Amino acid sequence: MTQAIAPRSRKVRVLATLGPASNSPDMIAALFEAGADAFRINMSHGDQQSKVPVIQAIRAMEKQYGRATTILADLQGPKLRVGRFAEGKIELVKGQTFTFDRDSTPGDATRVELQHPEIFAAIEPGARLLLDDGKLVVHVTEHDADRIVTKVAVGGALSNNKGLNVPDVVLPMAALTEKDRSDLTFAVEQGVDWIALSFVQRPEDLMEARGLIKGQAALLAKIEKPAAIERLEEIVEQCDGVMVARGDLGVEMPPEQVPPLQKRIVEVSRRMGRPVVVATQMLESMIKSPSPTRAEVSDVATAIYDGADAIMLSAESAAGDWPIESVAMMNAIGEAVERDPAHGDRVHFTVMKPDPTTADAMAEAAKGIARTTSAVAIICFTTSGSTARRVARERPAVPILVLTPKLETARRLGLLWGTHAVHTRDVESFEDMVAKSKRMALRHGIAKAGEQIIVMAGVPFRTPGSTNVLHVVRLTGDELKNYTNEL
């Protein structure tokens, strides 16, 4: 029998991106031991076959440590780029006229090819085009089906194939490219737990991905376009989770608008019961430095105080010089913030009004019972994970131990605040439920003899969405005497 691993001492989850600095089995295990709860595989880099041994290493580690571990595959999404220049690069000067057209001839100081007909169809006079991650800015003065004439507002060097952002219009383009469709199919076949969809603009963008996934993975919407903010609640309603993708969001919008938008996205996601990840440049300096700046630490802490479910490392763990130290720092910040006596109050800045359902009422009641009694944990029996999501939405002060007969459910819950998910056999009766709750609470170190736990489940058992039982029970310490393998 595999030795059970105790839950993390913090409730916020840590999502670590894997890459050249961290793809090996030994490094993946080291990141897990340092505090990574879930792993992001960026489909923008490398071919599909290079991802197979990485996924296999995570699954092997999962068996080694006896803990369901989460894999998120992040699709590249539609990338907009300018064409090539005859001299490799040019210099744009403020005030000059510069044209984007459909001519494949290499560009010069006055024009360059743009291979995206969707932009020509949607662009309007006055709209901005942002080049090279927003370093250069041009304003559209006129356009037709084959030409976009602009005036340079912020100049600088522009070289071959640099990225282009169009923040002021909704582009009539599919959220999934051919590459994305292929990568999504591959990721689902490999058994990943979450699919992240990039550059979501509207709720309809999620439908094709949902159809291709066919329920085999959870769908996460990356909020990184201004158009997505305008229909935020509709988008959150259509997905299983949300990412505050601050990189492109900060390019397409003034940077001072990103912090309030981050809070809004977290608030809406929490209110609607979707796990929310805060991502991009969280510990950016740790790509090259063994320690972060104080501002970066404060940034991470703010996301935790706001109640984000997960905080993500990108290049810090994927390609940086200090991947283990970056994860360990995330872990340390999470533990320090959650030890703050004020954390419990601040994490409830979002007012949670339960939906008028029995399950939501019981989740709210479980939080209240934990707060006013000596209960030390909430035990959730769930098939789909919905009970755990409802309880985590309330941000209770005690750990949430989730017991599920579906391994895929246990894996998907790795992005959910405060949960420790365990894949185990289902229960057959109320008495079995109570006895199993006691055994698993003791075995996983979340309760000791003499302490009380809160048990939540649905009767009849094995009926998803039927949460209707809330039971408080005290452990005696005798529960493990006749213990047998639970898996």
Active site residues: 40, 81, 222, 280
Packing angle of the helix pair 25-34, 52-65 (nearest 10 deg): 50
User: Which one, of 169, 100, 172, lies nearest residue 128 by Cα?
Assistant: 169
Side-by-side strand order, sheet with 147-154: 111-113, 97-101, 147-154, 136-144, 128-131, 164-165
CA distance 90 to 85: 7
Based on its alpha-carbon atoms, the radius of gyration of the chain, rounded to whole angstroms, reads: 24
Look up residue 116 and give its two tokens: 């995206």
Residue 42: both structure tokens together: 């960026």
The number of C-alpha atoms within 13 Å of 286 and in the hemisphere containing its C-beta is 28
Residue 470 has φ and ψ, to the nearest 5°, of -135, 120
**Count of CB atoms within 10 A of residue 394's CB?**
24
Give dist(CA 457, CA 470) in Å, integer: 7
Report CA 70 to chain centroid distance, whole Å: 11
Cα dihedral angle (127, 130, 131, 132), rounded to 10 degrees?
-170
Helix axis angle for 323-339 and 25-34, nearest 10°, is 20
